[in-house]
Amino acid sequence: MKIAVMGCAGRMGRMLVQEIHAADGCTLAGGTEPAGSPFLGSDPALLAGLPASGLSITEDVAAVFAAADAVIDFTSPAATVAHARLAAETGTALVVGTTGLSADQTAAITAAAASTVIMMAPNMSVGVNLLFALTQQVAATLGIDYDIEIVEMHHRHKVDAPSGTALGLGRAAARGRGVDLDAVKETVRDGVTGPREAGKIGFATLRGGDVVGDHTVIFAADGERVELTHKASNRGVFAKGAVRAARWTDGRSPGLYSMMDVLGLN
C-alpha cells in the first residue's frame, strides 16, 4: 500500500515516515511541506533517519495525492479541509489526526467523505480509543449523581484547548448519558461560579513541559470516585495507530469512519 504524509518534515511527520517504513506491505508514496519550508526538495526518509527513498518533499499536494493509495494528515484545520476536498476529487483515502477543527471545518470534511474513505479521530492511540469506549459505558451505567470532570495535560507548545482527545472523551460521556455535549460542557470556571450544576461535563486544561498527553475522566459522587486515565509517553503510539488506520481503509466504501471502526469497538 502506498501511503503519503502531509507535513512530513515535522516531528509527527517523521514518526509517520518511520512507521510506514516498518509496516509490512507499505511504502512511502511521498510527502509535503508548505511553500517556503526549508525542507522542500529533501528526501523525507533521510530526514526520518532512514535509507534514502529517492523521493523529494514537495508543496505540490495534488501530485502527492495522485501517487498515493492513502494520505495521513496531522497538519492544520484549514489545510486539512483542503486536503479532504482533494481526497474527494481523487478518490484517495484520507486519515485525519488534525485537532482544533471548527464545526464548519468538520462539516466540510464530512461532506468530502461522501466521495472517498475518510478516517478521522482526535487521537490515534489504541489505548485512548479504548478509553473512549469505557467512558461511554461508565457514563451510561452511572447516574446523574456522578459529576463528570475531564482533566488533560499537554506540552507547552500545544495551541488548542481543551485537547481534541478531551473533547472526544466528553462526547463519549455525553453519548453514554444520551445528551449533546455542546449543551452540557463547561470549559471555563473563573471567579464566583456558584455551585456546580447537575449534569454538566467539566473540563480542566493544563499545559507545561514536554508532556505528550495525559487524560483522566473523573466520575465523582458523594462517597466515591471512579477515575479512568490514559498517559502517553511517546508520540510513536499515534503514528502506529495512524498507519494501522491507513491500512484499514483499503477496500472500504466511501464514508466517514473513526478509530473505533478501525479497532472494531463500534
154 given a catalytic annotation = yes
Q: CA distances (Å), 35 to each of 15, 23, 72, in order? A: 22, 30, 19
260 is known to lie in a ligand binding site: no
List 154, 185, 215, 240, catalytic entry? 154
Binding site annotation covers 122? yes
CB 207 within 8 A of CB 155: yes
164 is in an annotated binding site: yes
Q: Is 7 within any annotated ligand binding site?
A: yes
98 assigned to a ligand binding site = yes
- Active-site option among 2, 83, 157, 158: 158
Question: Is 208 within any annotated ligand binding site?
Answer: no
Cell, residue 20: 510506514
- The answer to whether 255 is a known ligand-binding residue is no
Q: Is 124 annotated as a binding residue?
A: yes
Contact, 124 vs 135, CB < 8 A?
Answer: no
Q: Do residues 206 and 151 make contact, with C-beta atoms less than 8 angstroms apart?
A: yes
120 labelled as ligand-binding? no
Q: How many angstroms separate the CA atoms of 59 and 42, rounded?
A: 12
- Reduced to 3 states (helix: H, G, I; strand: E, B; else coil), residue 123 is coil
Q: Is 259 annotated as a binding residue?
A: no
Contact 32, 64 (CB under 8 A): yes
* 155 annotated as ligand-binding: yes
Q: For residue 158, indicate whether it is catalytic.
A: yes
Chain mean position to CA 71: 14
CA-CA distance, 70 to 5, in Å (whole number)?
Answer: 9
Identify whether the C-beta of residue 142 lies closer than 8 Å to the C-beta of residue 176: no
| Annotated binding-site ranges | 7-12, 97-99, 121-124, 155, 164-165
Numbered residues of the known binding site for NAD(+): 7-12, 97-99, 121-124
Which residues carry out catalysis?
154, 158
Which residues are documented as binding site for (S)-2,3,4,5-tetrahydrodipicolinate?
A: 155, 164-165
